Amino acid sequence: KNLIDYTERLFKAFLVRIPSGTYTFEDYMDDDGFGCEKIPIRVKIKVERERITIDFSGSSPQVKGGINANFAVTYSAVLYVMKSIIGEEIPVNSGIMRPIKLVLPEKSVVNAEKPYAVAGGNVETSQRIVDVLLGAFSKALPEKIPSASQGTMNNISFGGVDLKGENFAYYETIGGGTGAGPGWDGVSGVHSHMTNSLNTPIEALENYLPIRINRYLLRKGSGGKGKFQGGDGIIREYKFLVETEISILSERRKISPYGIKGGKKGKAGRNYLIKGKKRILLPSKVNLVASAGDILRIETPGGGGYGKKK
Question: Which pLDDT tens digit goes with each residue over 234-263?
Answer: 999 999 999 999 999 999 999 999 999 999
Same domain, 17 and 152: no
Stretch 287-295: mean pLDDT, rounded?
98
Give the model's confidence band at 310: pLDDT under 50 very low, under 70 low, under 90 confident, else very high: confident
Same domain, 192 and 309: yes
Q: Which domain-ending residue is among 145, 167, 195?
A: 145
pLDDT value of residue 281: 98
**Residue 235's domain spans which residues?**
146-310
Give the model's confidence band at 265: pLDDT under 50 very low, under 70 low, under 90 confident, else very high: very high
Residue 84 has pLDDT above 90, yes or no: yes
Q: What are phi and psi of 207, to 5 degrees?
A: -75, -35
Q: Which domain-ending residue is among 145, 166, 199?
A: 145
Q: Are 166 and 210 in contact (CB under 8 A)?
A: no
Q: Distance (Å, rounded) from C-alpha 121 to C-alpha 98? A: 24
Percent of the chain, pLDDT > 70?
100
Same domain, 32 and 161: no
Same domain, 21 and 160: no
Report the 10 Å Cβ neighbour count for 30: 24
Domain count, the chain: 2
pLDDT value of residue 309: 85
Q: pLDDT digit string (tens) for 137-180?
A: 999 999 999 999 999 999 999 999 999 999 999 999 999 999 99
Same domain, 282 and 155: yes
Q: Distance (Å, rounded) from C-alpha 182 to C-alpha 143? A: 6
Q: What is the pTM of this model?
A: 0.96
Q: Which domain-ending residue is among 123, 145, 167?
A: 145
pLDDT value of residue 29: 98
pLDDT greater at residue 46 or residue 197: 46
pLDDT value of residue 53: 98
Residue 231 has pLDDT above 90, yes or no: yes
Same domain, 102 and 155: no
Same domain, 117 and 265: no
Residue 302 has pLDDT above 90, yes or no: yes
Same domain, 153 and 277: yes
Residue 1 has pLDDT above 80, yes or no: no
Residue 307 has pLDDT above 80, yes or no: yes
pLDDT value of residue 89: 86
Same domain, 276 and 262: yes
Q: What is the mean pLDDT of the chain?
A: 96
Q: Is the N-terminal amide bond of 99 cis, ω within 30° of 0? A: no
Residue 221 has pLDDT above 80, yes or no: yes
Stretch 216-232: mean pLDDT, rounded?
98
pLDDT value of residue 88: 80
Give the model's confidence band at 304: pLDDT under 50 very low, under 70 low, under 90 confident, else very high: very high
Same domain, 81 and 116: yes
Residue 115 has pLDDT above 90, yes or no: yes
Q: pLDDT digit string (tens) for 7-24?
A: 999 999 999 999 999 999
Same domain, 301 and 232: yes
Stretch 73-98: mean pLDDT, rounded?
94
Same domain, 107 and 250: no
Strand runs labelled E in the chain: 21-31, 37-48, 51-55, 100-103, 155-161, 167-172, 211-219, 233-240, 244-249, 270-275, 278-282, 285-290, 295-299
pLDDT value of residue 109: 98
Stretch 289-300: mean pLDDT, rounded?
98
pLDDT value of residue 197: 83
Strand order through the sheet with 285-290: 167-172, 155-161, 244-249, 285-290
